[in-house]
Amino acid sequence: MTHNNNSSVQRTAPIPIAPKPPRPEPATHRHPNSLRRFEIGPPSLQGRDAVSVSAPANPSHGGAASLPPCRACASTSSRCIPSEDDEGCISCQVNAAECSLLSSAQSSPQSRKRKLNGHRSEISIKRSSPGTPTRRRNHAASLSSTAASSSFLEDMANVGGPTMLKRTLGLQADRYSQYIGPTTDFEPSLINLSSFDPQDESLLSRGTLRKVSDDDTFLMLPDHSTPGHEHLTQDLDDIETLVAPHGRRLIDLYFRIVHPGFPIIQKHVFIEKYERSYREFSPPILAAVYILAINWWEHDDVLAHIPRPNVRELERLIRTTLADAVYRPKLSTVQAGLLLSQRPEGDQWAPTAQLVAIAHELGLHLDCSGWKIPPWEKGLRKRLAWALYMQDKWGALVHGRPSHIFSSNWAVQSLTSNDFPDVEWDENDLEEKQDIERGRLIFTRAVQLSDILSEILDTFYTLNAMQTVTEAGAQGAPLVLSLAKPIQLKLKEWYGNLPNNIRIDSSSAYSSLAATAHRFTSVGYLHLAYFATEITLHRRIIRSLAATASTTDPYVQNICRSAAKARLISAMDFVNRLGPMHLRSFWYFASKTNFALIGTFGSLLWATSPGREEAEWYRRRLSEYRWTLSVSSKPGEGRGLTDFAMGMLDISAGLLKQLPEKPSMSRNGSAVDFGGPSGPASFSGPGSILDNYSSNVASADVSGVQSPRSTRYSSDEEEDEDDEMEDYPRMR
């Protein structure tokens, strides 16, 4: 995009950010091959020292109202509220800025007596949709051990309305940011020679430079000069008209069902803006929230009895406005693109590449922990960055394409509990609190799993990696097994460390109650992703064994195929056990393909079976799996989630008919024993694989952690396994 060199660039209100070093935040540096740790837990378990604040109504409250505001607040026409700890005003503390009140307090002993008398500040949502009771939320401001105390920051981020967003980098109402990289026409050495004001801005003819750290600088440019800006208000009106008067109900549906498992929006900032006016949004993010929420239209007592909006027209508007927003990218642009990709019909690879490019423009790939921006924006940036990372890695898997994100250009720090706001729920609604806490765990563990998936793709599925195995010839299978071993151990560790409240057994325990109360859980998409990751690893092992069948030890063949069979059984059993609370919830975009990958894996095992009996066993299992998918519809989104998997099963079955007839192995037994118990525990432990093969080939020992299994699955060695499979519970 080109910009006119105009010396009359209008400067917006200065951003109250000064060079004061930010408070240190714990950061865990990422190693490309390490398993990330996420410290996420109930905020109630985190220590905090609350500091209550309020704005004095008159000089009698400490005399603060009779004194002039600090220089930073005066420059932005913001209300200056002194803090209790005599460390300047609250706005400067939030922004880690030097406050002129602090210097005056040090020079004048009398000024240190100005306190706020401990009055509690309350900012509540003043309006709600018809028929929706207003929830009074107590937003006590607090300065915790983390610089991102959420209640305090959410309140301060919205005091004074949209003008306070001027302090942000990626969510300003009239400007957008462009990251200045090290090789652009801006020379970093020359940038540092520029004259920056106390707000770290420098006005140039091309735009306004904004330094957020010693090393990172952005160019701030006006929105009004970009294509499509002139009809932005009309686009918003058209979007709102399509859903009126039910916009607020759709927003409530979104935050109740989608947001807990995919927290990429700052909930209270979003709601505060909507309560003021829907025109404060960028059109694509408003439309994206609506179009996703409509999938659960029938789950609102009022909406269920009226026709749905024109979804096709809403989709046209979001795609049109998103194309315009690319010219003035903001964090909301990435949010809208990610949400649009979660639609059953929105799974496309090319838009992901565009989202990654926009994220680079916004600096989402950088470490923002030391930047001079509001702390809540740091948390939002990290959540958005990791959501984009997931989108890229799972998109690469399901589309079979090279990833766009590489560890060499990815500096985002691991997520911690401080990156999530802790005032997302009504304190009087325990179920809502549990839903949100569970959703955060699901999201962070999904990011962890995506990192393991990325390692699998890099190790086995790049062009170079596949070529290396091919060139290894007869040693291809041992090479694959040696590379698979450490990754399998990471998968074992990941599953073993799952908190109890996001295990499938835990969620099933109260499934009937949750379904009755319209409480859904997205834990299903996390466990399905785990099986898809396992399958992606084992597919490569089975392929390599098939390519070197004549030179690979039959014992190794048997053990590896047995392990693969165990993974298939566990994955199919998982799908059998999904209930309404899982199926009606939010499912990540890759889920429909992940369901299909289970069938694809079964088809691969069928095709590579050495004997007729084993092939027939897989044929029957796949037939049963197709029946399970056929009764696992997903209310609210049609049957797209399972229809795709059934269609792929039909295609695979058609191709498998072309296989030549396999020999009978009834005399000597098939390569995999189908008469005894099966499951991951049957094929793990010392001596289970390759111990007698070669000292320089690491074991491909599949995880000893048993994936969720049906309680009806028998382990009786005398019972024929075919009968056990026939007794699998069906989807209700």
Beta bridge partners of 203: 208
Question: Residue 6: what pLDDT?
Answer: 43
In this prediction, the residues of the chain whose per-residue pLDDT falls under 70 are: 1-67, 75-79, 83-87, 90-91, 93-97, 102-166, 346-347, 423, 425-426, 506-518, 633-640, 666-732
The dihedrals phi and psi of 303, each to the nearest 5 degrees, come to -65, -30
C-alpha to C-alpha distance for 575 and 573, rounded to whole angstroms: 5
C-alpha to C-alpha distance for 580 and 63, rounded to whole angstroms: 59
Question: Residue 510: what pLDDT?
Answer: 44
Q: Tokens 């950088």 map to which residue?
A: 366
- Tell me: the pLDDT tens digits for 22-64? 444 444 444 444 444 344 433 333 333 333 333 334 333 333 3
C-alpha to C-alpha distance for 117 and 14, rounded to whole angstroms: 31
Question: Residue 343: what pLDDT?
Answer: 87
Angle (CA) 147 151 157, round 5°: 80
**b/e per residue, 562-582, with b = 16+ CB within 10 A?**
bbbbbbbbbbbbbbbbbbbbb
Cβ atoms within 10 Å, residue 47: 7
Q: Tokens 């859904």 map to which residue?
A: 520
Under 8 Å between Cβ of 395 and 349: yes
C-alpha to C-alpha distance for 440 and 445, rounded to whole angstroms: 8
C-alpha to C-alpha distance for 499 and 236, rounded to whole angstroms: 42
Q: Sort strands 217-222 and 175-179 into parallel, antiparallel or unpaired.
A: antiparallel
From residue 87, how far is each of 241, 474, 475 by CA, in Å? 47, 70, 67
Domain boundaries, given as residue ranges, for the chain? 47-152, 430-666+680-707
C-alpha to C-alpha distance for 551 and 570, rounded to whole angstroms: 30
The dihedrals phi and psi of 688, each to the nearest 5 degrees, come to -80, -25
Under 8 Å between Cβ of 236 and 283: yes
Question: Residue 90: what pLDDT?
Answer: 67
C-alpha to C-alpha distance for 561 and 567, rounded to whole angstroms: 10
pTM for the predicted model, two decimal places: 0.74
Beta bridge partners of 217: 211
- Tell me: the pLDDT tens digits for 466-514? 999 999 999 999 999 999 999 999 999 999 999 999 998 765 444 444 4
Question: Residue 332: what pLDDT?
Answer: 96
Which residue blocks in 364-422 are alpha helix, DSSP H? 375-399
Beta bridge partners of 50: 142
Under 8 Å between Cβ of 49 and 55: no
> What tokens appear for 542 in the block?
């089975």
- Tell me: the pLDDT tens digits for 113-169? 333 333 333 333 333 333 343 333 333 333 233 333 343 444 444 444 444 566 789
DSSP annotation of 201 reads E
C-alpha to C-alpha distance for 408 and 464, rounded to whole angstroms: 18
First to last CA, the chain: 54
The DSSP element (H or E) to which 531 belongs, if any, is: helix 523-547
Angle (CA) 583 586 592, round 5°: 70
C-alpha to C-alpha distance for 79 and 92, rounded to whole angstroms: 11
Beta bridge partners of 637: 639
Which of 153, 160, 164 is CA-nearest to residue 15? Answer: 164
